[in-house]
Amino acid sequence: MQADYVIVGAGSAGCAMAYRLSEAGVSVLVIEHGGTDAGPFIQMPAALSYPMNMKRYDWGFQTEPEPHLDNRTLVTPRGKVVGGSSSINGMVYVRGHAKDYDHWAEQGADGWSYADVLPYFKRMENWHDGGHGGDPDWRGKDGPLHVTRGPRKNPLFHAFVEAGRQAGYQVTDDYNGKQQEGFGPFEQTVWKGRRWSAANAYLKPALKRDNCDLTRAFARRIVIEDGRAVGVEVERGGKIEVIRAGREVIIAASAINSPKLLMLSGIGPATHLAEHGIEVIADRPGVGQNLQDHLEIYFQFASKKPITLYKHWNLVSKAVIGAQWLFTKTGLGASNQFESCAFIRSHAGVQYPDIQYHFLPIAVRYDGQASAEGHGFQAHTGPMRSPSRGEITLKSADPNEAPRIFFNYMSTDQDWEDFRACLRLTREVFGQEAMRDHVKHEIQPGAGLQSDDELDSFIREHAESAYHPCGTCRMGRADDPMAVVDPEMRVIGVEGLRLADSSVFPRITNGNLNGPSILVGEKASDHILGRPPLPPSNDEPWLHPDWETQQR
């Protein structure tokens, strides 16, 4: 088996590249270890807690004990299925803030400033405002990725935004447009009631072309001859074979598996590779370093009124919702239920938002366990730009063994200050008049926890990953010793090898990472094809005029 381009991983970036490269007429072969995404557990938006907790669809990774979180071991779901993590995620669509990308460019990712990436966001989107307003000039209208807004029928979605306004924050009609900062409607990758994953948006249309194929196999390492990547060694049906690439091998295997694959192939920190008896082909100390994530708390309140989704938290109601969705793709099953959100700044002097809120009209955990209080609602919230950095390293030279995942969460004083500020600001929002008719009492953290020590202890015990790992093969200039890929996604030190997924992020972006991961695949495609990038945009994003002196 061979093709011009062999892509390892049918995830968010891999699917986008398969689509764009095959569209250009070259032959593409995608290697994916996971299986089909068919069936209601993945395709029904409201069922999102199921695939993430199913061995069939998830790699089943876990962190090492995290020393600053009571030595807890946290789950690290990654999609092992066509569509990758876009097939098991919460379907929340966030571009990230304009300043995130300007920071990338400042860190050596030349050509990746916001002006450079905005045209690619427009190219990938097919945006539907659903009659709710927004910034049409900032959005794409005919891309493969459908982006929609939930119906927001539950009054709690509007009460949350109004509480933010009453607390003195901005209200924004389109956080993916000119102004991210503020409270407003959330967007989701859902189309006609179905999860619109990278598989549905990009891969399935690509596979209809004669020059694009998908093979189920487990990638063991990249085959490198005379300093050039020529193929991928895979295990398929119990046999080990090599799939050859006529032009280039492209790794898009996630922020966990991409550095692992590089290291197994001899590309990484030389001393670490030597410890595992791996021949060093390129000494790149940055491989596996710079690991980042978003950590969050589920801030829960008991509800005075029985208007939350808890009334559907029984078998009969779930069956009715499931049946309605199965036959009509409508009803509560057709939304991820994240329909209002906010992005705010924690302090004066912070230039752009560093706290995110996902609002949900039920008090429930990600594993599907409802709060014992019954009717309730919650906001997932946490700081966006933690200074903590972790790493991905090998446990052994055996490709079948999961890598060692260590995020090193909450390892700086700044993390604790930011998180405490976040919790206190959240209480203030939910204490506004708009929430008076709804908030019965605080379930967690619980109103009794007020001091720094009490809040810290709660964070240690209850902070959870938002499942946004990134940064482990970061992009930078070719002369930067810690960079792994250059701004055209070429792996530094090896010919014929590129890497494009969330692991190339120099720093984590604001919000959920599916949108930026697809963006990387979209823009990488033009670099791979040797095409000039899309012309930069002149649109100026909104920044709070008094950010230096005011928190809101």
The 10s digit of each residue's pLDDT in 514-527 is: 999 999 999 999 99
* Residue 369: per-residue pLDDT: 73
Q: What is the bridge-based pairing of β-strands 145-149 and 125-127?
A: parallel
> How far apart, in whole angstroms, are the C-alpha atoms of residue 509 and residue 286?
19
Tell me the pLDDT tens digit for each residue of 524-544. Answer: 999 999 999 999 999 999 999
* Residue 365: per-residue pLDDT: 77
The sign one gets for the Cα dihedral 440, 444, 448, 452 is negative
* Residue 92: per-residue pLDDT: 98
Question: What would the mean pLDDT of 88-103 be, rounded to a whole number?
Answer: 98
Helices 452-462 & 413-430 angle (0-180, nearest 10): 100
* Residue 83: per-residue pLDDT: 98
Q: What is the bridge-based pairing of β-strands 497-499 and 239-251?
A: parallel
How many C-alpha atoms does 220 have within 13 Å on its Cβ side? 15
Question: What would the mean pLDDT of 79-88 be, rounded to a whole number?
Answer: 98
Tell me the pLDDT tens digit for each residue of 9-67. Answer: 999 999 999 999 999 999 999 999 999 999 899 999 999 989 988 999 999 999 999 99
Q: Is the pLDDT of residue 131 over 90?
A: no
The 3-state DSSP class for residue 171 equals strand
The residues, ordered by sequence, that sit 6+ positions from 433 with a Cβ below 8 Å of its Cβ are 163, 166
Q: What is the mean pLDDT of the chain?
A: 97
Q: Which residues pair with 295 in a beta bridge?
A: 465
Q: With beta carbons less than 8 A apart as the criterion, state whether 73 and 63 touch.
A: yes
Q: Is the pLDDT of residue 323 over 90?
A: yes
> How far apart, in whole angstroms, are the C-alpha atoms of residue 370 and residue 374?
7
Per-residue pLDDT band for 366 (boundaries 50, 70, 90) equals low
Q: Which helix (H) or strand (E) holds 453?
A: helix 452-462
Which runs of E-coded beta strand occur in 237-275? Answer: 239-251, 267-268
* Residue 129: per-residue pLDDT: 85
Which member of 312, 468, 527, 544 is catalytic? 468
Query: Out of 3.30.43.10, 3.30.560.10, 3.20.20.70, 3.90.1410.10, which CATH number does the structure's domain 66-75+139-190+292-465 have?
Result: 3.30.560.10
Q: What is the bridge-based pairing of β-strands 187-188 and 267-268?
A: unpaired
Q: Is the pLDDT of residue 372 over 90?
A: no
> How far apart, in whole angstroms, are the C-alpha atoms of residue 479 and residue 308?
55
Q: With beta carbons less than 8 A apart as the criterion, state whether 505 and 516 touch.
A: yes
Question: What would the mean pLDDT of 325-346 be, rounded to a whole number?
Answer: 96
Residue 142 one-letter amino acid: D
* Residue 132: per-residue pLDDT: 73
* Residue 53: per-residue pLDDT: 87
Question: What would the mean pLDDT of 354-367 be, rounded to a whole number?
Answer: 90
Tell me the pLDDT tens digit for each residue of 217-238. Answer: 999 999 999 999 999 999 999 9
- How far from 2 is each of 30, 78, 367, 382, 491, CA to CA, in Å? 10, 27, 41, 45, 21
Per-residue pLDDT band for 130 (boundaries 50, 70, 90) equals confident
Predicted TM-score (pTM) of the model is 0.98
Which has the minimum average pLDDT: 123-137, 403-417, 532-546? Answer: 123-137
Question: What would the mean pLDDT of 372-401 be, rounded to a whole number?
Answer: 96
Tell me the pLDDT tens digit for each residue of 140-166. Answer: 999 999 999 999 999 999 999 999 999
> How far apart, in whole angstroms, are the C-alpha atoms of residue 319 and residue 298?
27
Q: Which of 249, 289, 292 is nearest to 269 (CA)?
A: 289
| Residue 527 bears catalytic tag | no
Question: What would the mean pLDDT of 344-350 be, rounded to a whole number?
Answer: 98
